[in-house]
Amino acid sequence: MIFSLFLSCQHESNFDLEKDLYQFSDKMKNGDTIEVSVNHSACLFLSHELYTFIKQKDTVFLQTYSEISSFEKREQTLPKIVYHVSNKNQLSFENYFKYLSKENKPKTETNSAIVSIHYKNKAQAKSFYSDGLRDNLEKLDRFGLLRKKIYPNDTFFKSPKPPPPKFAK
């Protein structure tokens, strides 16, 4: 009896990744989890990030794992924060997904997804592709603006300044 009462109080999410992606932070229900994998790799630089959005107590939280695996491996996990960027803001994940949708390239044997989105509750997925180095870097540059808005003080991907030149005397 108590078990059936517990089950009847559970609200099943009607979130649909394909339909709700561009308003996901508004459409998610408590218990929903969306993972966004961003492939930052280009040429000899190998890097990726995993953004995990979780809705709990009517609030969307974001936790981010970043890894650079070229040259020497570095990784970080940023603390869980409230995702408070309106989906109407140009620098929101929702608007970035709209941009990727308009600029998406077909999957081929030689390209890999620049962004992959997984809705864990229903095992739904969507990927966006680039076509060549220039297209890849343009999409990553735009993502960098979004990342900087969410994590303005994070320096994980910031390149160190080169040392000053030595002049012969």
Let me know if residue 164 belongs to a domain.
no
The length of the chain is 169
Let me know if residue 79 belongs to a domain.
yes
Let me know if residue 38 belongs to a domain.
yes
Identify the pLDDT of residue 3: 45
Domain total of the chain:
1
Query: Which portions of the chain are predicted below pLDDT 50?
Result: 1-8
Let me know if residue 34 belongs to a domain.
yes
The closest alpha carbon to 61, from 78, 75, 76, belongs to 78
Q: In the predicted model, what is the mean pLDDT of the chain?
A: 89
Let me know if residue 161 belongs to a domain.
no
Q: Is 121 exposed, middle or buried (0-12, 13-18, 19+ CB in 10 A)?
A: middle
Domain residues for the domain of 109 are 15-150
Let me know if residue 105 belongs to a domain.
yes
Identify the pLDDT of residue 82: 97
How far apart are the C-alpha atoms of 144 and 39, rounded to whole Å? Answer: 12
Let me know if residue 87 belongs to a domain.
yes
Identify the pLDDT of residue 169: 66
